[in-house]
Amino acid sequence: MSWIDDRAADLDADEFGFDVVPETDQSFENALAKARDGVRLTVDDGIELITTGTDVEGLDPRRKELVLEAADRRRAEVVGEEVTFIANVNNNLTTACNTGCLFCNFKDTAHQFETEYQQEHAGFTKTPAEARSVVADAVERGVYEVTSVSGLHPAFGLNEEHRELLDPDDPEMNYKPPEAYDTDPTTYREQIAAMAETGAHVHSMTPEEVDHAQRGADWGYADVYRELADVGLKTVPGTAAEILVDEVRDIICPGKITTQEWVDSMEAAAEVGLPMTSTMMYGHVENEAHRVEHLKVLRDLQDRTGNITEFVPLSFIHQDTPLYEHGVVEGGASKAEDELLIAVARLFLDNVEHIQSSWVKYGDEFGLKLLNCGADDFMGTILSEEITKRAGGQYGEFRSFRDYVEMLSAIGRPPVERTTDYGERRRIDTDAEVFGPQLGPQADGTPLLD
């Protein structure tokens, strides 16, 4: 057993003793009335809505429908009926990571990547040339965004100067020189530059990655983002958020940055002028109060920066993860919890315009249902998926523009192609012979996939 398994095996969900719990002085009816009237919600209001009332055990199906209805109406007022999606490719650079998050099965402990490790393993590291080639192929097919999120490979540095100052003998620095590995991941600078050369919009460097890119150095998050923006980084994915309450992070990802550091890194992205998304990974050990506290952290951040383009709820995929395998959790969120999370996010985040329904996490059928609970974006084509798949997710790895047009037409919503920051939108003619993409440098309208 690895140390990650040992850690999960030691956890007992009955003994967490959280300080943040779903108890309020508010009533469900009051909270619902405020939501319907468009009054800014308090955390207590949010808790009443997401629990369908703390005065009842479990979820009340009738009250749930009222919350979903209010959120659907708000969605229609804020963004209308159109549903957006993007032509993008996922291009994860490496699975090597020693952070040990207990919900993650994407990573492979980095020692397996060392030259002297002789056994087979399922991990990978791409060179900048390989990373460029994956993106270039996708761009040729019409894709115009690359989402790149990766493990924190110990040989990664921001640039060569960073790698020189990192001390391999100091365990705090989590650094091993590239010579120790089969494949050198090189530097964030080189990898971002290689992907940007293709003309694709580079959406990369999560708060956790940017922290890795400045470990042991005295420059801050803004300097890292500035240097990478210079070589082509355009926007930042807001993963590594998980639950932005430290008592939950201490259990599921004790090796990760804190809530405050996550917020700091997002503020740094804003300072440098890089728009960012925001996420929440829910449905594991946290309770409903943690979910709403998380939304409050995001809403406050957005009040200060106005830099968040969308909120992306990520329902925990439990099957092949340490948390599930060691019985810490019995599964992920229920469908009713997914619906309420999307709906309450729409009502609570009154300053974030777009909410994504992720077909990777929810599947097509239920993903479409969530577009009637407050969501207005249906993710992207992605072409490849490793994080969810390795955790046991079953919903495949890509969707074509034809798939999107057919699915959205079936629920009577107009399909709209968008760019990463929603700066450009194109309503798709559902009677056309081909549907696109058309917004990218080489997107000439021919289908992305056969």
Ligand X SMILES: N[C@@H](Cc1ccc(O)cc1)C(=O)O
Ligand Y SMILES: Nc1c(NC[C@H](O)[C@H](O)[C@H](O)CO)[nH]c(=O)[nH]c1=O
Q: How far is residue 241's CA from residue 239's CA, in Å, rounded to a whole number?
A: 5
How many CB atoms are closer than 10 A to CB 56? 11
Taking CB under 6 A as the criterion, which residues in 187-206 touch ligand SAM? 206
Establish if 314 lies at the interface with ligand X (CB under 6 A). Answer: yes
- Closer CB to ligand X, residue 66 or residue 210? 210
Q: Using CB under 6 A, which residues numbered 233 to 262 contact ligand SF4?
A: 253
The sign one gets for the Cα dihedral 88, 377, 447, 388 is positive
For position 242 contacting ligand SAM by CB under 6 A, the verdict is: yes
Query: Which of ligand SF4, ligand SAM, ligand X, none sits in contact with 281, Cβ below 5 to 8 A by type?
Result: ligand SAM
Contact 20, 290 (CB under 8 A): yes
Backbone torsions φ then ψ of 129, nearest 5 degrees: -65, -40
Q: Which residues bind ligand Y (CB under 6 A)?
A: 86, 88, 90, 145, 147, 203, 277, 312, 314, 356, 358, 360-361, 379-380, 382, 385, 420
Helix (H) or strand (E) holding 89: strand 88-90
DSSP state of 42: P
In this structure, how many other beta carbons lie within 10 angstroms of the beta carbon of residue 227?
Answer: 19
282 vs 26, 46, 124, 225, 279, CA distance in Å?
Answer: 24, 15, 27, 27, 10
- Binding ligand SF4 by CB under 6 A: which of 145, 190, 208, 377? 208
Q: How far is the CB of 242 from ligand SAM (least distance, A)?
A: 6
Residue among 361, 343, 436, 360 nearest 49 (CA): 343
Strands of the sheet containing 83-86, edge to edge, are: 377-380, 83-86, 415-418, 425-427
> 46, 123, 128, 151: which one contacts ligand SAM (CB under 6 A)?
151
What's the farthest any 2 CA atoms get from each other in the chain? 64
264 contacts ligand SAM (rule: CB under 6 A): no
- Nearest-approach distance from CB 334 to ligand Y, in angstroms: 18
* Count of alpha carbons within 13 angstroms of residue 284, beta-carbon side: 32
312: partner contacted, choices ligand SF4, ligand X, ligand SAM, none (Cβ within 5-8 A by kind)? ligand X
Distances (CA, A) of 351 to 40, 304, 305, 348: 10, 11, 11, 9
Q: Is 391 near ligand SAM (CB under 6 A)? A: yes
Stretch that binds ligand SF4, among 6-14, 75-83, 104-112, 298-306 (CB under 6 A): 104-112
Residue 152 or 368: the one with the smaller Cβ distance to ligand SF4 is 152
Residue 156 near ligand SF4 by CB under 6 A: no
CA distances from 225 to 93, 173, 291 (A): 18, 20, 28
When the beta carbons of 184 and 208 are compared against ligand SAM, the nearer one is 208
Residues that bind ligand SF4 (rule: CB under 6 A) add up to a total of 11
What's the rounded Cα separation, in Å, for the pair 15 and 218? 39
Q: Tell me, residue by residue from 219 to 258, as one string, x for binding to ligand X by CB under 6 A and - for no binding.
A: ------------------xxx-------------------
Rounded CA separation 435/446 (Å): 7
Out of 239, 259, 357, 381, the residue judged to bind ligand SAM by CB under 6 A: 239
> Residue 372 touches which of ligand SF4, ligand X, ligand Y, none (CB < 5 to 8 A by kind)?
none
Residues 88-147 that bind ligand SAM (CB under 6 A): 103-104, 106
Shortest gap between Cβ of 124 and ligand SF4 (angstroms)? 13
Rounded distance between C-alpha atoms, residue 374 and residue 353, angstroms: 11
Interacting residue ranges for ligand X, rule: CB under 6 A: 147, 149, 237-239, 277, 279, 312, 314, 387-388
Interacting residue ranges for ligand SF4, rule: CB under 6 A: 97, 99-101, 104, 106-107, 151-152, 208, 253
